[in-house]
Amino acid sequence: MSMSDQEKSPAAPAGATRAPADYFTGIAWVKPLVPANDSTDCVVGEVTFEPGARNNWHTHPHGQVLVATAGTGYYQEKGKPALLLHPGEAVSIAPNVVHWHGATADSRFTHIAINPAASQGVVVWLERVTDADYQAAYA
Ligand code: MN
C-alpha cells in the first residue's frame, strides 16, 4: 500500500474487520457482537459502510432485523423504491426477500444486523448492486 493509499484509507471502527470484497462494493466493516454458537441462535453484528458502499443483493432464509445506529443509509427490496434509514430506525426483512443495504453516497452508515435461526443459515449472496442500481436509489 502506498503512502497516498494509506492517507485515503478510512480507519476501521474498533473491533471491526473489512467486509469481504466478494459480497460488498466499496469499503465496509463488520464487528461481531453475538457469535454463531450463542444460546439464542441469533447472530448479531455491527456493519459500517463507508460512503457509497453497499452489500450485494441477497436473501436471509429466516429473515433479518436491521437497526440503524449512525449516519444515513439505504434499504431496498427488489422492485421497490429504496428506503432511507436514519439512526434509531429499524427494518424487518421477511425470509427470502431479495434486498440490499448500504450507505448513501455522502454519509458513512452503521447498522446492527440481527439474524435469527442462524444455525439454519444466515445469508444467500446474489449479484452485485451495480452503480446504475445504486444511483437509481436516489430517484
Ligand atoms: Mn440483509
The answer as to whether 114 is a domain residue is: yes
CATH number at 71 reads: 2.60.120.10
CB atoms within 10 A of CB 69: 17
58 CA distance to ligand 1 middle (Å): 6
Residue 29: inside a domain: yes
The confidence score (pLDDT) of residue 2 equals 47
∠ CA 29-32-33, nearest 5°, is 130
- 17 inside domain: no
**CA of 22 relative to ligand 1 center, distance in Å:** 15
* CA 38 – CA 20 distance, rounded (Å): 23
What's the total number of domains in the chain?
A: 1
105 C-alpha vs ligand 1 centroid, how far in Å?
A: 19
35 assigned to some structural domain: yes
CB atoms within 10 A of CB 49: 27
Eight-class DSSP state of 118: G
Is 70 contained in some domain? yes
Query: Which residue segment(s) compose the domain that 103 sits in?
Result: 25-137
Query: What does the pLDDT look like over 30-71, one tens digit per residue?
Result: 999 999 999 999 999 999 999 999 999 999 999 999 999 999
- Grid coordinates representing 36? 454463531
Tell how far the Cα of 1 is from the centroid of ligand 1, in angstroms: 31
Give the pTM: 0.92
Q: What is the CA(20)–ligand 1 centre distance, in A?
A: 15
